[in-house]
Amino acid sequence: MLRDYLKQIRIEPTEKIISGFDTFSKLLIEWNQKVNLTAITDPSEIEIKHFIDSLTIFQTGKITEHSKIIDIGCGAGFPSFPIKIVCPGCDMTLLDSLNKRVMFQNEVIKALAMDKITTVHSRGEDAGQKEEYREKFDIATARAVANLSALIEICVPFLKVGGYFIALKGSEIEEELLTAKTALTKLNAEIENVISLTLPNCDHKRNLIIIKKLEKTEKKYPRNAPKPIKEPLGAQSTRHKAQ
């Protein structure tokens, strides 16, 4: 399935790529026995629901060998490791708030002898205010880690003007798109496209939300944790309308 999908997205499934995914899968299953990294542990399920799900990001056409990418709240490394395995020339930063996940990420990097890749143990809200990360990336990604309004506030500050935030979401996004308008306005960004798709050999539907950064981010964003998650931008006006 992985080979077929790679061909579908016009990536040659070389033995090095397939071997990289095989090593990554084995490490994920091994580490998951001692550290809670994923509820998906069957190799064929990992192939579809983690690897291929992550690789759908290439359908946006935004990822290249020259991209500088940050994956925010990346957990066990999705979509960052699948992107890096098939696109080794990109410059990848993995950011996560749990040290045990960062330890696992470092083990994968070592096992696959990856270069141009960095792990950061931090919350997105904190790192987004630091000069070394703020407005330094071409692409920011996040895979179903929070509400879209919160993700926009946390992720867009990492982008250069003209860069893209790509949110990998499930099937139900209509309400999130509706309530994200305030966050988009305040973060000087706009939704360029939404790509809807179904994962192979199952009925799991996915949406890739492509958001472009139009202007620099005001210094007050992102707000300190947990405000972006607990009090997403626009939530008060939405509640007011409902009343």
DSSP state of 223: P
Render pLDDT for 3-53 as a digit per residue (tens, 0 to 9): 999 999 999 999 999 999 999 999 999 999 999 899 998 999 999 999 999
Terminus-to-terminus CA distance in the chain, angstroms?
A: 49
Work out how many domains the chain is built from and give that number. 1
Give the three-state DSSP class for 64: coil
Question: Per residue in 86-110, pLDDT tens?
Answer: 999 999 999 999 999 999 999 999 9
Query: Edge-to-edge strand order for the sheet containing 117-121?
Result: 117-121, 91-96, 68-72, 137-143, 159-169, 205-213, 189-198
| CATH code, domain carrying 153 | 3.40.50.150
The pTM of the full predicted model, rounded to 2 decimals, is: 0.94
Range of the domain at 87: 2-242
